[in-house]
Chain A
Amino acid sequence: MFYRLSGTYHTSYAADRKLWKIPADRWMVILLLILAVLAPLYVSPLYLGSYVLPWVIWSAAALSLTLLMGLAGQLHFGFAAVMAIGAYASIHLVRFGVPFELALLLSGLIAAAIGTVFGGAALRVKGLYLVMATLAMQYLVDWVVVNVPAISGGAHATLRTPEVSFLFVPVESLAARYWLALGWAVVLTVFFMNVKRTSFGRALVAIRDKDFAAAVIGVDPFRTKLMAFATSSFMGGVTGAILAYCFYRAVTPEQFGFNVSIQLVAMVLVGGLGSVIGSWLGAGFVLLMPIFLTNVVSGLAAGGWVPVSQNFLSHLPLMIYGAMIIGFLLLEPLGLAKIYDNIRKYFLVWPFRHARS
């Protein structure tokens, strides 16, 4: 009823290959996009700057990581380091005189190059062993950033982003920064939806499911794995640069620490591996839920509803948050994306019960 499937026939290949075949989905996406673009007009600066903007950027990061973890099946526990390379590279490039647009691309390429070197470990090892190799990347990059003042920016290890403009628009006001981040997130989203249908995307899936079987049918594991690391690191590197210029505007090593890597992995897992909507939902959940819970619990405490010490009060949101993650994963192990999918499928044929897909 809501999706009005009757009368929707795909009579040409082009119609059958559309990203959103059902008109209702298409309209929903268009509406969301319009709402997102107009957000600076109706969302208060508090919510735009502290919730929507970081959510958009972290969704882009989760999309970059899920290409590697969800599509290609290569675990990466050092993705924050990839973003750090992008962020530091872009700042130093702009300071060196490179135009911002070009610096973004170059920082992605630098991140891709370094990410691919560490991805080389994936050619030999899998699973937990690969986790160890990527963890090594995290710590090595951290160590280099902290110990080379030329990179980290002197004694206080803080590097402020220079003033830049993107296509003649100064990246200064909150709205401009938001639109740049949104633009990049939309590009990644569209890229990700399309890459699944290319030969490269199918090769990634083949590698994920069984790499020798993929080799037997003619997919070169060497090339495909390295390409997966390169693509994902490029996306992650540019996202790191966007994070630096659009959100933090002053880069410190702590912004790209090990805990951030774990957060990114959590976003991808809670959202649903290899899913676009899962990356958005997962990033929103992992990033914003602790903030939301902290504010709710503090609000209740201010009203005298939670008579506990400050220390316990601060840990309470973490407990609820942890219980929520376990709860969601028990309810639906395939993540938030699958929960969304179940709801959508239910309404596809509502008021009847059985959906085809």
Chain B
Amino acid sequence: MTWMRKLALTTALVAGLSAPVAAEDIKFGLLQDFTAVYTFVTGQYNQGQQDYLALLNAEGGIDGNTVTAIVRDTGNQPQRGIEAYNRAKEEGAILFDFLSTPVSAAVLDQIQADKNILITPAHGRGDASDGTVFPYVFPMMPTYWAQAATLIDHMKSTDGLDGKKIAFVHIDSPFGREPLPILEALAAEEGFEYQAFPYASPGNEQSAAWSEVRRYRPDYVMIWGAGGGQAVSVRTAIQNGVRPEQIHSVIWLAETDAANVGPAMKGVKRFEATASGTEHPILQRIQQQVIDAGKGSGDQANVGNSYYNLGVATMAIAAEAARLGLEGGQPLTGETLKAGFEKIAGYDAEGLLPAVTYTAEDHQGGGAGRVSEWDGEKWVPVSDWTVAYPDLIRRVIEESATKYKEGN
């Protein structure tokens, strides 16, 4: 009979240990590309995300609920992304960030059918900002259309645009061509002239495009690429007589690129959706409670980098959405998390972000951003957080979302 008693006791003990505690564990799937195409950003970005979640848990979680990140490498391969998504979904994740356009595209329809949240900050489809067509997708941050508009708005504020010439130098891919409708529309409105100069992917060699740019004699230059090609763009531009101050970049230009270009980089401008540097309350607390406590998830030197802060910001917004989603007293699911996102109004992550507001229609969060300039050591903002040409951006988003409804 002793064995029966032992068995009963053990069962009771095991059941007692695994019984659900009052607070639940919220799971986010950060299934990203650490090994293939997006390596220039993923390491720092994911480090920021994990460190922010560590800070959140150290400070007591979201109303006592802890947040766990499920982190996997997908190698930018859609079929691996689908596997990672299905597995994380089974493990209970309700929010996903793939940081990979092909993987996000492959999972998009499934994730909406499953009513889980897909966040696509600074990647993926811009038209997913239309929450009526993409109810469970949150681009969260300014789309590439909004980024292009913000850069043009900044050019306008510095020296005017009437009769000016803009050279748009971009990687020859759907991502590189994305701002073209914005340029087309604004050229007519603001009276400037522009020309597109594509270079072949991945952009290690761009001299052909830039000697064309030299002949075009532009007043402003916009560079639209990502990864190693960005440093090549800046370097080749300067070799071809473009002044650094004329160069305006998409969000993908960071400290690493500045280190690769060297001192010549001083004066180059880029779009930013989050502030960089460590002079922010959240970053300070991460430094004290996560990094100094030895709980950081990567190289300490990355803390405060542009992409690191971008990662921090994504998780800060997601955590705020989870907090608001839990307010109703219901358990957190994809649906309540979506409702939480749509309750966010004027949230600025203690100054790390422009104030963002999500509604059932607008999943971009307003699209505010600013322009910052490399001063030789760090990125210094040269404009305030602004929303440029919101009506135009919204129109482009809705046009594209309509096409998605039709099957593209």
Contacts and interface: CB of A to CB of B under 8 A. Distances in A.
Interface of A: 45-46, 49-51, 54, 95, 146-147, 152-160, 162, 247-250, 252-255, 259, 287, 290-291, 294-295, 298, 309-311, 314-315, 317-318
Given A50-B82, A294-B72, A318-B35, A153 B408 contact: yes
B35 A315 contact: yes
Contacts of B298: 309-311
B260 interface: no
Given A51-B83, A156-B408, A314-B35, A249 B174 contact: no
Contacts of A158: 105, 125, 408
Interface string B48-87: 0010000000000000000000011101111110111011
Nearest to A152: B174
B407 A95 contact: yes
Contacts of A254: 76, 78, 101-102
Q: In terms of DSSP, what is the predominant structure of the interface of chain A?
A: helix
B314 interface: no
Interface residues of B, number: 45
Contacts of B181: 155
B67 to A, nearest CB: 15
Interface in B168-205: 172-174, 177-178, 181
Q: Which 3 A-B pairs have the closest CB atoms?
A: A314-B34, A50-B83, A254-B102
Nearest to B87: A46
B90 interface: yes
Contact of A159 (B75, B87, B172, B408): B408
A252 B102 contact: yes
Contacts of A160: 109, 407-408
Given A146-B172, A155-B403, A309-B297, 20 more contacts: A54-B79, A54-B82, A155-B174, A156-B127, A156-B408, A157-B174, A159-B407, A160-B109, A160-B408, A247-B82, A248-B78, A248-B106, A250-B108, A252-B102, A254-B101, A254-B102, A298-B71, A310-B71, A311-B298, A318-B35
B46 interface: yes
A146 B171 CA distance: 12
Nearest to A318: B35
A255 B35 contact: no
Contact of A309 (B75, B87, B299): B299
Nearest to A142: B201
B79 to A, nearest CB: 5
Residue of A155, A160, A252, A317 with most chain B CB atoms under a 10 A cut-off? A155
A240 to B, nearest CB: 14
Contacts of B240: none
19 contacts: A46-B86, A50-B83, A50-B86, A51-B83, A95-B407, A146-B172, A153-B408, A154-B400, A154-B403, A158-B105, A158-B125, A159-B408, A254-B102, A255-B102, A290-B80, A298-B72, A309-B299, A310-B43, A310-B46
A310 B407 contact: no
A155 B177 contact: yes
A310 B297 CA distance: 7
Residue of A247, A252, A287, A315 with most chain B CB atoms under a 10 A cut-off? A252
B47 interface: yes
Nearest to B297: A310
A156 B87 contact: no
A287 B79 contact: yes
